[in-house]
Structure 1
Amino acid sequence: MANTSSAKKMVRKIARRTAVQKSRRSRVRTFLRRVEEAIASGDQAKANEALQAAQPELQRAVTKGIFHKNMAARKISRLSGRIKALSA
């Protein structure tokens, strides 16, 4: 356990930061889940709309350091490919 005052302060800061990051990660996952559900339902228009809403959330998570930029780009690319495949 933290003994010095600076270590105790760091524990408080880390706890606050962890809570913020957890809520941001949860928010992005919710948007991604909506896209997945729309793809599963087979509705291309709804899936496209959900992806358009999810993209800025993913990019925001990247700028905040929650996700790596390549991971976000890969997710967007794969989801858009799956949505495009719905029309075929």
Structure 2
Amino acid sequence: MANTPQAKKRIRRNDRRAVVNTNRVSRIRSFIKKVETAVEAGDKKEATDALQAMQPELARGVSKGIFHKNTASRKLSRLSKRVAALK
């Protein structure tokens, strides 16, 4: 259990930030899911639009410290390859 006032404040702050970060992760996953569903449906235009919308969200997640930059780069690369492979 936290004894010092600073440790108690950190616990309060961490709880507030956890909610914000959880919402951010959920939002980014939703953008990724839109791209994946469009690719599975075979709709190239919708998949391309969804990929364009996902890129800045993913980059924002990296800048906020939610995702590691290599993880975001890998996700973007793999999804881009799948979208490009559509006819």
Q: TM-score, structure 1 length as denominator? A: 0.93
The range that moved more, 53-62 or 15-24, is 15-24
Q: Tell me which amino acid in the other structure corresponds to 1:74.
A: R
Distance (Å, rounded) in 1 between the aligned partners of 2:67 and 2:7? 27
How does 1:1-88 map onto structure 2 within 5 Å? 1-87=1-87
The aligned amino acid for 1:5 is P
Identity among equivalent positions (%) equals 56
Instruction: State the AA in 2 paired with 1:68.
Output: H
Q: Which runs of 4+ in 1 moved over 6 A?
A: none
**Deviation (angstroms), 1:3:** 2.7
Q: Which amino acid aligns with 2:13?
A: K
Q: CA RMSD in A?
A: 0.9
Unaligned runs of 5+ in 1: none
SS of residue in 1 equivalent to 2:85: helix
SS of 1:86's equivalent in the other structure is coil
Count of residues paired in the alignment: 87
Q: Secondary structure at the match of 2:10?
A: helix
